[in-house]
Each structure stands twice: as structure tokens, then as C-alpha cells.
Amino acid sequence: MKTETEPNETESDWSELTRECLINILSRLSVEDRWRGTMLVCKSWFSVFKEPSLHFVFNLDPQFDSPTESTRWWTPEFEAKIDNMLRSVVEWAQSSLTHIRIRHCSDRSLALVAQSCPNLEVLFIRSCPRVTDDSISRIALSCPKLRELDISYCYEITHESLVLIGRNCPNLKVLKRNLMNWLDPSQHRGIVPDDYLNACPQDGDDEAAAIANSMPGLEQLEIRFSKLTAKGLNSICQGCTNLEFLDLSGCANLTSRDIANASSSLVHLKEIKKPNFYIPRSVFHTERYGHWSLYDERFQTDIFQI
């Protein structure tokens, strides 16, 4: 039987691990595991948690990959938590941050990113209702190494930001500017605020022109549910001749003929995703298109071939 003075061989003093050993341990953990406990073990662990080499990538995307969204994600309180996390990581990284993949942040945290992350290469900020041209223009001017940008479902960002990004980030190869399904918004109702759903950008051709005129090096482009027309698509295909991947899913203003004619000049194109859905006739006014034969061509799909 052990006396009270004898050490317990099963106990370990984790606080006495060397800094190098702790860095090695924490580097093997996911972002979630690091934030949910390791930083709270003791002061020495928290000190190591702030090591810059552990924060050159900040990826919260896996935490949002669920079949259904949460209404909580669209609240100001949740946004504030994401902002605080991002601001902390930016401060700890000490300019070494190169990859950011988050959602539901705001201009408050992105302003600090622009100020402190000159080596940023990847920025994915989907579903950020309070990210505006103000912070994106700062990113454009301060992060010239940007290679990949995802601003999907960020409705307060306009074509003006796209122009600035294109002009100031010559290495940009990937752009994702997808919109929510405005043809059938039922999947978002009750989760995404109605006023935000109704704020879907209408300037598809303006955004297309911005992309075409300022991003000649693009290789991958996603513009799902954009409201661009044949004019906008022609601009993109003429200005972004290096495109290898093009996603036009849900682009209801394009016909199969529009897509075929415009994309014929893209000699490097490996994959193109076309609008592939059936839209009830009640959604559109017949007088807009003149007759239903045009309707049938405009919305033909792999299933409903005309």
C-alpha cells in the first residue's frame, strides 16, 4: 500500500513537457481539438498554443460541413465569436498566416487580416453578411500573394471589389462567387434571414465584366446561380482564356447555345458544369421570352432533353 508521501506513478505533470515537445503534440491536433481544451490545460500549454508556427493555417470549414445550416450561425452573437477567434489567430500568427477558411466573420476581423497578413494566399469567407467592399478592398491592397478567394453568399461585396482583387492580386487562380439558390430558396427559408435572401446581387454582367477585365490568370471559376447573361459569359471566356474549370450551375439566364458558343474559345477547359434543372413555367412570365419553344431551349437539362 502506498503512503501519502509516495508519488503516484500513474500521474504525469504535463506542464513539465518541453516547449518543442508541446508544439509537436499540438501540431498533430485539429483546430477543434486545440480550441476545445488544450489551451486551457495550464499556463505553459496556453503559451505554446500561441506559437506562430501553429497558426499559419486557420481552417474552420469542417465545423460547418453539416447537412443543414444552423440559425445560430446567422446571429450577431455567433459572428462576434468567429471574429474574436480570427483576430486572436491573426495576432498569434505574427504575419505567418497564409490560409484562412472560415464563415460568418465580418469587416471587424478582416480589417485586421488585411493589416497583419501580407503573406495570405488563400481566403475563404463564405456566408458573411457583414463583409463589405471596405474590408475586401483592404485585402486587395495588402495581400498581393492571394491565390484563391471564396466570397460565396457574401452579398455586400460588389463588382468593385472584384476589380481591386484582380488588379492587385496577379497570382489569383481560383475564384468562387456563388449565390444562394434564388430560384428555389426554400432550402434556406427559416435559417437565413429573409431580408438577406432577398438581397441577392442582380448585377451578374457587371461582376462578369470585372472578372474578365481584371483576372486574366484565373484557372477555376465558380459562379453558381449568377444572374449573368450571354453577354457576361462571353466577356469571361474572352478575358479568362486560361480557365480549366467553370461552374455555371443554376445560371438561369444562359441557354445551352450561349454556353457552347462562349466556351468554344477556352482551349484549356477540362470541365464545365452547366445549368441542370427543370424550372416550372409558373416561375417565369411568358411575355419575357415570347414563346415556350425558347423557354424549352433555355432550361433544358440532361433529363428533360428537348
Which pLDDT tens digit goes with each residue over 27-85? Answer: 656 666 666 666 655 666 666 666 666 668 898 888 887 767 789 999 999 999 999 99
Which pLDDT tens digit goes with each residue over 114-165? Answer: 999 999 999 999 999 999 999 999 999 999 999 999 999 999 999 999 999 9
Could you tell me which of 61, 236, 83, 252 has the C-alpha nearest to residue 159?
Answer: 236
- Say if residue 37 is in the same domain as residue 61: no
Residue 126 belongs to a domain with what CATH number?
Answer: 3.80.10.10
- Say if residue 172 is in the same domain as residue 195: yes
Could you list the residue range(s) of the whole structural domain that residue 47 is in? 19-54
How crowded is the C-beta side of 240, counted as CA atoms within 13 Å? 32
Helix H segments across 178-265? 194-197, 204-214, 230-239, 256-263
What is the model's pTM? 0.80
Query: Grid coordinates standing for 161?
Result: 471589389
- Say if residue 144 is in the same domain as residue 124: yes
Could you tell me which of 172, 228, 170 has the C-alpha nearest to residue 200?
Answer: 228
- Say if residue 131 is in the same domain as residue 39: no
Q: What is the mean pLDDT of residues 89-110?
A: 93
Query: Grid coordinates standing for 117?
Result: 497578413
Could you tell me which of 197, 245, 192 has the C-alpha nearest to residue 218?
Answer: 245
Three-class SS state of 56: coil
Q: What is the mean pLDDT of residues 239-248?
A: 98
Which pLDDT tens digit goes with each residue over 266-289? Answer: 999 999 999 975 444 444 443 333
- Say if residue 91 is in the same domain as residue 121: yes
- Say if residue 162 is in the same domain as residue 28: no
Domain membership of residue 79 (yes or no) is yes
CB atoms within 10 A of CB 145: 15
Q: What is the mean pLDDT of residues 212-219?
A: 97
Domain membership of residue 303 (yes or no) is no
Q: What is the mean pLDDT of the chain?
A: 82
CB atoms within 10 A of CB 183: 14
Domain membership of residue 306 (yes or no) is no
Three-class SS state of 271: strand
- Say if residue 96 is in the same domain as residue 221: yes
Domain boundary pick from 54, 77, 99: 54
Question: Is a pLDDT exceeding 70 seen at residue 22?
Answer: no
Domain membership of residue 9 (yes or no) is no
Cβ–Cβ < 8 Å for 252, 299: yes
- Say if residue 204 is in the same domain as residue 128: yes
Cβ–Cβ < 8 Å for 67, 37: no
Domain membership of residue 68 (yes or no) is yes
- Say if residue 38 is in the same domain as residue 133: no
Task: Give the separation between CA 109 and CA 87, rounded to whole angstroms.
Answer: 6
Domain membership of residue 305 (yes or no) is no
Which pLDDT tens digit goes with each residue over 169-203? Answer: 999 999 999 999 998 888 888 899 989 988 888 89
Domain membership of residue 162 (yes or no) is yes
Given this model, what pLDDT does residue 93 score? 85
Task: Give the separation between CA 149 and CA 242, rounded to whole angstroms.
Answer: 17
- Say if residue 150 is in the same domain as residue 59: yes
- Say if residue 36 is in the same domain as residue 180: no
Domain membership of residue 231 (yes or no) is yes
Which pLDDT tens digit goes with each residue over 247-264? Answer: 999 999 999 999 999 999
Which pLDDT tens digit goes with each residue over 87-99? Answer: 988 988 889 999 9
Question: Is a pLDDT exceeding 70 seen at residue 209?
Answer: yes
DSSP-derived secondary structure letter, 124:
E
Q: Provide the number of structural domains found in the chain.
A: 2
- Say if residue 169 is in the same domain as residue 112: yes
